[in-house]
A and B are shown apart, each in its own frame.
Chain A
Amino acid sequence: MRDPPVSTTSPLTRSTPSAVTLSQLQRLEAESIHIFRETASEGERPVLLFSGGKDSVVMLHLAAKAFWPAPIPFPVLHVDTGHNFPEVLDFRDRTVERLHIRLKVASVQDYIDDGRLAERPDRTRNQLQTVPLLDAITEGRHDVVYGGARRDEEKARAKERIISLRDEFGQWDPRNQRPELWSLYNTRHRPGEHVRVFPLSNWTELDIWSYITEKGIDLPSLYYAHERDVLSRDGMWLAVGEHVGPREGESVETRTVRYRTVGDMSCTGAVESPAATAQDVLAEVMTSTLTERGATRADDRVSEAAMEDRKREGYF
């Protein structure tokens, strides 16, 4: 048996103060900021996708740090399904006002109203976001589009690069990805193509909650325990309301719940939880036995490759 190797110094070294071990969150934060600065400098018209969900809130927080004390040098884009939780819309508006950034909204409802998109039979709208998103990217001539996806979320996402080249249809081609070497990012693309950039690629759900706790980052209230009228459908608690029902035979109950993700109200489920603060949620995440998408996203349960198929079609 050999002993673990001991650090040696190279001939060019000098005497330094004792080495500092950066914490996991410090390393992740530094990497995300590096990605923002690199891609915003190489791109001409970046835009950041902002849903009001915890990942996009953390992403925006990191963007603000990357350019501080200058304001964030690009607008944010919200793809509004029309099925949003009111708390989230309110949070979105307060956030852009506080940071003095411009908000662009791509509205799924507008597309349905004028017939460019048809409502789906199950009335869920996550799948309908792709067309308004791609149109907004084309109209804004955005060449760098920031998304809050994390690789630990799902198996297809685990294979996507930090810089993800998309053609003019927004399609991701998993067989034709660029090698991503060291921290040298390549954002070059042909006219009409753009790159999606995922600064949170290496963060896990636990890292996100640890960071929110450590930095005291404000989130929409529905991430924390509250009483809500809910009904049980497909093994999830859905919020009672205009878009959800109850349908015939479903009974409404009042429960203490919180959300692990926020999205379309009609397919985002709540979990029963007494966690009222970020610290409580962090403790819960550390002992959770279900992935956040498995627990609360009906649209990812459709097939083994649901996320891959949507990404290929130009989804986030």
Chain B
Amino acid sequence: MSTENTASLLRIATAGSVDDGKSTLVGRLLHDTKNILVDQLEAIERVSQSRGLDSADLALLTDGLRAEREQGITIDVAYRYFATPARSFILADCPGHVQYTRNTVTGASTADALIVLVDVVHGIVEQTRRHLAVAALLGVPHLIVAVNKIDLVDDAHGAFEALDRDLHALADELGVLDLQTIPVSALRGDNVVEPSESTPWYTGPSLLGWLENLPDSSELTQAEHFALPVQTVIRPQSAAVSPEFTDYRGYAGQVASGSVAVGDEVTVQPAGRRTTVTRLDVAGEPAERAVAGESVTLSLADQIDITRGDLIAEPAGAPSGSKTVEAVVCWLDDEKPLREGQRVLLKHTTRVVRGIVGSLDGRLNLESLAAESVDEFELNDIGRVSIRVAEPLFTAAYTQSHALGSFLLIDPQSGRTQAAGMVQDDSVATPGVLGNLRADAGEWAI
């Protein structure tokens, strides 16, 4: 292994509303960690000058599309890569104004940490509630609220403390897993990379300092039960790369949770058969053990009919099949609402099945945080549904396994991705906003 590049990787996402300085914050983070190269900096200095600005507008670093630069807005999720001596980062920068939930859900679904920007002058706005609700729904392990523009208020300390109290109260109500608030000025760089001298009353970490010290959340996934959704069956026969592999038969997939070793007993679903792992290859090389996140190929002791979409799992935690899925969905389709009786395709792990929406069981009202009864879900709505599917799915509650508890809804005609779905299991106590969205729409249930 190389020594240079073994630092752990953290995936983060940023979300904010219009004009709260998110692009500036991201630009500041990249600039102050010296991840901007000379030609990139020169290019934005040129454009800033031609617009009559005194200093380089760091927002231009992330606004890459022609329309974004012309209109001074951010349209789509942009991915940025930067590194510090401590760790590498993949940053999904999610714009706030159009298709906001859609973008935030996209960024947050893969994030270890979500950074939400709040403008200290405006305080908690609807977007803030929405972003915090998305963080809670998607179970993002760490939420950071960067309270921005503290250089613009007279009593920054008092304003920050009041906002900090309100944010923690809201986060608790929603069921956010972990919240840290940090006062920043993206424009001046206060508390972004280095702790600032202009906020002597704040003794916490800078934004970067916090991010560098967050624990690697993949450890939690490794501690779950082993599960491997089969992507493809590898059976080279006479075409094998070498004659010794003509009889090779392996089931390929990415370990979704837990770990697996040669000799482990496993259950295969939907066949319902038990067998033993006889061989394990990780990225094309033999191995004794593999953990969540690794792409592997397993060989098994018994001849079992296994195809793409099947699940190989640890017997103790193997989910049982069901043809009904109870779930919370974020509706992301701007062309078509979701209604009862609608036909959809559902992609769960590596399996795509046909489904019919049985019932809409309540939409989340972001003001009251209660469920309200509606006939359809529109773009950005979050609500509870029941879906009947053509073949059994082997799911787990999303709060227990993101890999076995997440799914997409896809429009059968156009192929558009319409919804992000999170499987609910009412026998498992679910705190916060997810627990409020019960089948009995309109009821406050905690």
**Do A and B form a real pair?**
yes
Please list the residues of chain A having a beta carbon within 8 angstroms of any beta carbon in chain B. 1-2, 4-14, 16-17, 19-27, 29-31, 33-34, 37-38, 40-41, 64-71, 100, 151-152, 154-156, 158-159, 165, 174-175, 177-184, 186, 188-190, 201-202, 204, 206-207, 210, 213-214, 282, 286, 288-291, 294-295, 304-305, 308-309
Among A182, A189, A288, the one with the most B-chain Cβ atoms within 10 Å of its Cβ is: A182
CB <8 Å contact, B65 and A26: no
Residue with the greatest number of chain B CB neighbours at <10 A, chosen from A14, A21, A68, A288: A68
Tell whether B275 is near chain A: CB-to-CB under 8 Å: no
B83 CB contacts on chain A under 8 angstroms: 206
- A11 contacts which chain B residues (CB < 8 A)? 400
Asked if B213 CB lies within 8 Å of chain A CBs, one says yes
Number of contacting residues on B, CB 8 A? 104
Contact of A10 among B205, B215, B220, B248 (CB under 8 A): B220
Chain B residues with CB under 8 A of A10 = 220, 223-224, 400
Sample of 4 further A-B pairs with CB below 8 A, known A65-B283, A206-B5: A19-B219, A159-B78, A201-B79, A286-B4
Inter-chain contact B65/A308, CB cutoff 8 Å: yes
- B336 to A: closest C-beta gap in Å: 14
Query: How distant is the Cα of A259 from the Cα of B213 in the complex, in angstroms?
Result: 38
| B2 contacts A by Cβ under 8 Å | yes
Q: Of A69, A202, A210, which is within 8 A of B240 by CB?
A: A69
Contact with A along B203-244 (1 / 0, CB 8 A): 111000010011111111011110000011011100111100
Q: Could you give 15 example pairs across A and B, Cβ below 8 Å? A: A23-B7, A65-B283, A67-B234, A69-B245, A155-B62, A158-B62, A175-B67, A181-B417, A182-B109, A188-B410, A190-B413, A201-B79, A202-B90, A206-B5, A291-B39
Q: Provide the bound-state CA to CA distance between A308 and B410, in Å.
A: 28
- Considering only residues 161-182 of chain B, those with a C-beta below 8 Å from chain A are 178, 180
Q: Which residues of chain B come closer than 8 Å to A70, judged between CB atoms? A: 234-236, 239-241, 248
Tally inter-chain residue pairs, CB-CB below 8 A: 254
Candidates A34, A68, A175; contact of B281 at CB < 8 Å: A68
Does B258 sit within 8 A of A, measured CB to CB?
A: yes
Q: A38 near B231 (CB under 8 angstroms)?
A: yes
B6 within 8 A of A: yes
- CB neighbours (8 Å) of B223 from chain A are 9-10, 13-14, 16, 19
Closest Cβ of chain A: how far from B1's Cβ, in Å? 7
Cβ B283 vs Cβ A33 within 8 A: yes
Q: Are A16 and B254 in contact (CB under 8 A)?
A: no
B:12-30 near A, CB below 8 Å: none
- A34 lies within 8 A of B231 (CB): yes
Minimal beta-carbon separation of B51 from chain A (angstroms): 12
Given contacts A9-B223, A26-B294, A65-B284, contact A290 B232 (CB under 8 A): no
Given contacts A291-B37, A295-B39, contact A182 B234 (CB under 8 A): no
Q: Is the CB of A190 within 8 A of B415?
A: yes
The answer to whether B142 and A69 have CB atoms under 8 Å apart is no
A39 CB → nearest B CB, Å:
10
The contact of B295 among A23, A30, A214, by CB within 8 Å, is A30
Q: How far is the CA of A158 from the CA of B65 in the complex (A)?
A: 10
Residues of A within 8 A of B258 (CB): 16
Which one of A2, A17, A41, A156 contacts B204 once the chains associate, using CB atoms below 8 Å? A2
User: Interface stretch among B151-159, B382-390, B401-409?
Assistant: B401-409
Q: How far is the CB of B29 from chain A (nearest CB, A)?
A: 15
Residue of A nearest to B297 (CB): A68
Contact B222 A20 (CB under 8 A): yes
Residues A22 and B218 in contact in the complex (CB < 8 Å), given A38-B350, A184-B347: yes
Q: Which of B69-77, B320-328, B364-372 contacts A (4 or more CB under 8 A)?
A: B69-77
A295: min CB distance to chain B, Å? 7
* CB-based contact B294/A22 at 8 Å: yes
Could you tell me the distance in whole angstroms from the C-beta of A287 to the nearest C-beta in chain B? 11
User: B84 at interface (Cβ–Cβ under 8 A)?
Assistant: no
Note all chain B residues with C-beta closer than 8 A to A179.
Answer: 102-103, 105-106, 332, 417, 420
With contact pairs A71-B241, A290-B37 given, residues A24 and B6 touching in the complex (Cβ less than 8 Å): yes
| CB of B374 closer than 8 Å to a CB of A | no
A315 to chain B, nearest CB (A): 15
Residue pair A214, B220 in contact (C-beta under 8 Å): no
Q: Is B283 a contact of A290 with CB atoms below 8 Å?
A: no
Q: How far is the CB of B156 from chain A (nearest CB, A)?
A: 17
The 9 closest A-B pairs by CB, nearest first: A155-B64, A188-B415, A294-B39, A70-B236, A68-B284, A69-B245, A33-B295, A65-B284, A37-B231
Residues of chain A lying within 8 A (CB to CB) of residue B69: 304-305
Q: What is the CA–CA distance of A294 and B413 in the complex, to the nearest angstrom?
A: 42
Do B65 and A291 touch (CB < 8 A)? Answer: no
Are A186 and B232 within 8 A (Cβ)?
A: no
Q: Give the complex CA separation of A290 and B236 in angstroms.
A: 44
- Quick one: given A33-B295, A152-B81, A179-B105, are A282 and B4 in contact (CB under 8 Å)? yes
- Interchain CA distance A174-B297 in the complex, whole Å: 36
Which of B79, B239, B281, B403 has the most C-beta atoms of chain A within 10 angstroms of its own C-beta?
B79
- In the complex, chain B residues whose CB is within 8 Å of the CB of A29: 283, 295
